[in-house]
Amino acid sequence: MQPLLCILYQVMKYYFLTTLLSLIIFAACKPYNSTEKNKELLQGKWRLKEISYSSPGMEKPKELSDVVYLSFVGDTIIEEVNGQLQRKDLFEVKNYNLIWVEKGSSFAFQIMLLNDSVLSLKSKNTWLLEKEKAA
């Protein structure tokens, strides 16, 4: 009977130590904050390269033949077309959505892809942007 108690004691000690170690590791880890990381990755100047339309037959908008940049600085989004400032608004990032806040209204893009060089945004259409290299 005593060897069985020793074995049970060893097993319970092992599970207790494993559980305790797991709780310590879990408590010490900072949770991943996708909103914060996406906002950090957005910072900088992005050039619009392509717009894909959800419905065929739509005319290409003028901005595709122009040079269009979106710049993200802090909480501000700046749109430039051919070097001319078009608008300067605020933006938010929530749950993989970029929310562009204009005067009195807002519209959202789903962030489909975001890394240090490519940004893909989807609303009715899909926008593909490339990050400008710092000079």
- pLDDT at position 32: 66
- pLDDT at position 60: 56
Same domain? For 98 and 43 the reply is yes
Same domain? For 127 and 106 the reply is yes
Is the per-residue pLDDT at 29 higher than 70? no
Same domain? For 67 and 106 the reply is yes
Kindly report the number of other CB atoms within 10 A of residue 133's CB atom: 8
Same domain? For 26 and 46 the reply is no
**pTM exceeds 0.75:** no
Same domain? For 82 and 104 the reply is yes
Say how many domains are in the chain: 2
Kindly report the number of other CB atoms within 10 A of residue 109's CB atom: 20
- pLDDT at position 19: 81
Span of 36-40, 41-45, 73-77 with lowest mean pLDDT: 36-40
pLDDT band for 10, please (50, 70, 90 cuts). confident
Average pLDDT, the chain: 83
Which is more confidently placed, 53 or 60? Answer: 53
Question: How do residues 78-135 score in pLDDT, each as one tens digit?
Answer: 999 999 999 999 999 998 999 999 888 888 999 999 998 999 999 988 889 999 987 6
Give the percent of the chain with pLDDT over 90: 44
Same domain? For 73 and 113 the reply is yes
Same domain? For 21 and 39 the reply is no
The CATH number given to whatever domain includes residue 45 is 2.40.128.280
Structural domain harbouring 96: 34-131
Cα–Cα distance list, 39 to 27, 44, 92, 125 (Å): 25, 10, 8, 22
Q: Convert 9-47 to b/e letters by CB count within 10 Å (16 or more is b).
A: eeeeeeeeeeeeeeeeeeeeeeeeeeeeebbebbeebbe
* Per-residue tokens: 14: 């092992």
Same domain? For 55 and 101 the reply is yes
